[in-house]
Amino acid sequence: MHGYDLLVVGSANADLVIRVDRRPAAGETVLGSDVATHPGGKGANQAVAAARLGADTVLLARVGDDAHGRLLADSLGAAGVDTTGILAGGAPTGVALITVDPSGDNSIVVSPGANARLSVEDVRGAGELLAAARVVSLQLEIPIDTVTAAVGAATAAGSRVVLNPSPPAPLPAEVLAACDPLVVNEHEARFLLGADAGDTPEDWASALLVQGPRSVVVTMGAAGALVADPSGALRIPSPSVEAVDTTGAGDAFTGALAWRLGTGDDLETAVRFAVRVGAAAVTKAGAQASFPTLEEVTAAI
């Protein structure tokens, strides 16, 4: 019997954020704001986003035995995430270096740290968590062998698998075959497809479905998202909002999507909800701090 709405298997980082008038070109130095430190990482972000919406969420991740690791554990617990699966040690907590320009667009460099030590053995040790989750959501800020092991365990337990291949990397066939959906943005789609990418979200979704996932969601920023499965494709628009900071918006979208699928929503309905959550998330600064509650989504968008 499934005891969790959602298990997120992924990264937990400290986000070091600097605001700039413009992002630097190659070889260029620009001045920025004071550094702000926020809890982040795609795995932790997705878990917090879902928990703030009301999902019964647990995170399997690895952090360092350091101040950044304690920051993450505290913030996850405060958001309502079950921290049973948070493992400590092996390396310093991962760090993301983020620059944000006045339009809210960002550039990110990630030092994986302890995230790179989340292992296949850690997945095996978390068998009870994997067996208890209706949906398992993953990203690629952890080793691909670990992702593959978690997908295999989730499939064996009858859990639905949601995967965002970010940062993009080649995916084993058995991982692609389990995705329902595979969630990509333009950059991730073009990486996975290479020269066969095409020019439109419909092109990308169609070509990705040939690679094996059961369904595909293409996120399109302010334009919303595209939902595709073998029966066809549909664009779902996003509400119009004034963007302050897009950091973590994709994670808020995916966390919301994965939760709603776990409650029994069909894919289209879940994506319609998720685009509203993603839109709400860009109206505030930071990643986890910007994620809305269910009441805020209902009231604001």
**Does the annotation flag 185 for ligand binding?**
yes
pLDDT digit string, tens, across residues 7-42: 999 999 998 989 999 988 889 999 999 999 989 899
This prediction's pTM: 0.91
Active site residue 251: yes
296 in a labelled binding site: no
Q: So what's the pLDDT on residue 292?
A: 84
Query: Hey, where are the domains in the chain?
Result: 4-21+34-300
The one catalytic residue among 5, 122, 229, 251: 251
Residue 263: per-residue pLDDT = 93
As a three-state string, the secondary structure of the chain is CCCEEEEEECCCEEEEEEEECCCCCCCCCCCECCCEEEEECHHHHHHHHHHHHCCCEEEEEEECCCHHHHHHHHHHHHHCCECCCEEECCCCCEEEEEEECCCCCEEEEEECHHHHHCCHHHHHHCHHHHHCEEEEEECCCCCHHHHHHHHHHHHHCCCEEEECCCCCCCCCHHHHHHEEEEEECHHHHHHHHHHHCCCCHHHHHHHHHHCCCCCEEEECHHHCEEEEECCEEEEECCCCCCCCCCCCHHHHHHHHHHHHHHCCCCHHHHHHHHHHHHHHHCCCCCCHHHCCCHHHHHHHC
Q: Answer yes or no: is pLDDT of 2 > 70.
A: no
Q: Is 250 annotated as a binding residue?
A: yes
User: Domain spanning 4-21+34-300: which superfamily?
Assistant: Ribokinase (3.40.1190.20)
pLDDT above 80 (res 300): no
pLDDT digits (tens, 9 = 90+) for 104-136: 788 888 899 999 999 999 999 999 999 999 999
The whole-number pLDDT of residue 240 equals: 84
